Structure 1
Amino acid sequence: MTPPSQAAPTGDAIVSVRNLSKTYAGGFQALRNINLDIHRGEIFALLGPNGAGKTTLISIICGMANASEGSVTADGHDTVRDYRAARSLIGLVPQELHTDSFETVWATVNFSRGLFGKAPDPAYIEKVLKDLSLWDKKDTKIMALSGGMKRRVLIAKALSHEPKVLFLDEPSAGVDVELRHDMWRMVRKLREAGTTIILTTHYIEEAEDMADRIGVIRKGELILVQDKHTLMRQLGQKQLVLTLQQPVTNLPASLAGWSLALSADGQILTYTFDAQKDDTGIAQLLAALSAEDIHFKDLQSSESSLEDIFVSLVHETKADVAKEKHPEPHTDRRVTA
């Protein structure tokens, strides 16, 4: 795996980030030497704890903030020197619910399309609104919509100018299950049509289900970029859980070389192993247990989820956690490391 800080340009990159750093007044460095290629047509998930730099990175790529060092190109257009061309390729769904409260849904989405110099296309806007279950709200003012409906409007606005690259910054935060399903269904359709999707999320199961590649950012540094399946093979572990027929007080010395954990009551034996390197380990373990007259009555296996891998990659000390000023609630597999 090529280290992120030394990433080489790839021919199919639609977004390229090179040696990007961001330092705010006062000396706080939000990003440190980020190098990243987003491949054309992929779904890329950018994961990281609160304050890791995800939103700062997206803001710079989308031209909403200036980098202290480095450069970004979108489909070959420099986001600073050729801002208009680069920005017209990008759609952004921000975290914050901000839009003109006094406009109707139809008016605000059409206005967003016009901002990017696109000719009116009522049929396309109608399709977007219908895909997001907004068509029956098209004449409703934004102020009268629920939070979930306002989130749908932000997505519609981001898609209004038919971008090649769509950024979704925490798109599922605070939305209902129906919207999440509608949104991910649309994301899959967009990807099938060739749109590149970059998402940040705390809902790790979404990244595990949707993404082709995973990037992990921590304290402003991109610590890993990897194909999702390769990542889970390389860093994931499996566990074999044996329920024993008879409790065991202590494990025999002959089993000392195995990664075994015995429950306090002596009834559950857990074997943790790397599936890539341990093709025959289970059979050997069972034979070794049998030789010691240890027998099991039930057997279950499990493997690391992307959430497990993420937590291990961004693990912070108790002192680090204490410094978090605004931690988010831990619900629905949301991770706030």
Structure 2
Amino acid sequence: MKAIFDPRQRAHDPQHFMANGTRLPSPEKPERIDRLHGAALTAGCVFEAPADHGMGPIAAVHTPEYLDFLRTIHARWLRIEGAACEVIPNIHPASRTDSYPKSAVGQAGWHQADTACPIAAGTWEAAYWSAQTALSGAEAILAGARAVYALSRPPGHHAFTDLAGGFCFLNNSAIAAQHLLAQGLRPAVLDVDVHHGNGTQGIFYDRGDVLTVSIHADPARFYPFFWGHGHERGKDAGLGANLNLPLERGTGDDGFLSALDTALARIDAFGAGAVIVALGLDAHVNDPFRGLAVTTPGFARITAAIAGLGRPVLYVQEGGYLSDDLGPNLTSALEGAQA
């Protein structure tokens, strides 16, 4: 299987995030790259560097205001007396219709949904090349590849058009989907991360030209809480083009695969010409977030079922955090994709 990766993704090295009011070490560390890269090689992947497709395909998904924020906020933040080395918001607008501030502190609150997306000196560079990695994977699909793995890091599926969150800055899967659409393919995004792909849903929610499907732990008591419920079906032109399949905490292989059957039937009915799989590996039973209980062999069953659709598939790396199982989980997933 062809795989795409750029080492400049290592430039993002977040030190902390906050959860439950506690400052914790970030689990989204560059070490994830080493484990994922090695696991993909074990699965027989052949890596190549991404091309630079420029800002156009990224700006087709994200607002210019937001992109300017991501590129400049860290330098502006450091000019604040006593500021920490990472940009972490401490105030948020009550709604997206509130006034847009000029201050770095106010803009951080506007463009960062939570305290799990700290921005440091290398964040923009890493996020840019993470997006270019997904775009080059999409180009490989357009060139005729049947399955491609994009090792994109930082991940992207919690990023909205103008809002970072949950370790995510640029929505790599959405950028790839929009690029495929612009080239004449009808794309579906299938998110199998343990967390709902709220940013991807938000980007396409009022559109009917991209199908978004997410299988995830029930957000009633699990991040991202406010999105990912079964009644969210899209709106306006997008009504019916969004499908959420929330699962009870602790659901294992069989329950996940049953939901996947429903997801694949919807993708088939949509007439998708290509599938972008937001490949979170954090649904594993031993992942630090402990949401679902998929086993390592279960990931091979998931990707084999996706391959059974008979559509080209671009696997874009999302979650899956540091544990001894991370590498074997990816190897299993990629082997299943090629079975």
TM-score normalised by the chain length of structure 1: 0.30
**Higher-helix-fraction structure:** 2
TM-score normalised by the chain length of structure 2: 0.30
**Higher-strand-fraction structure:** 1
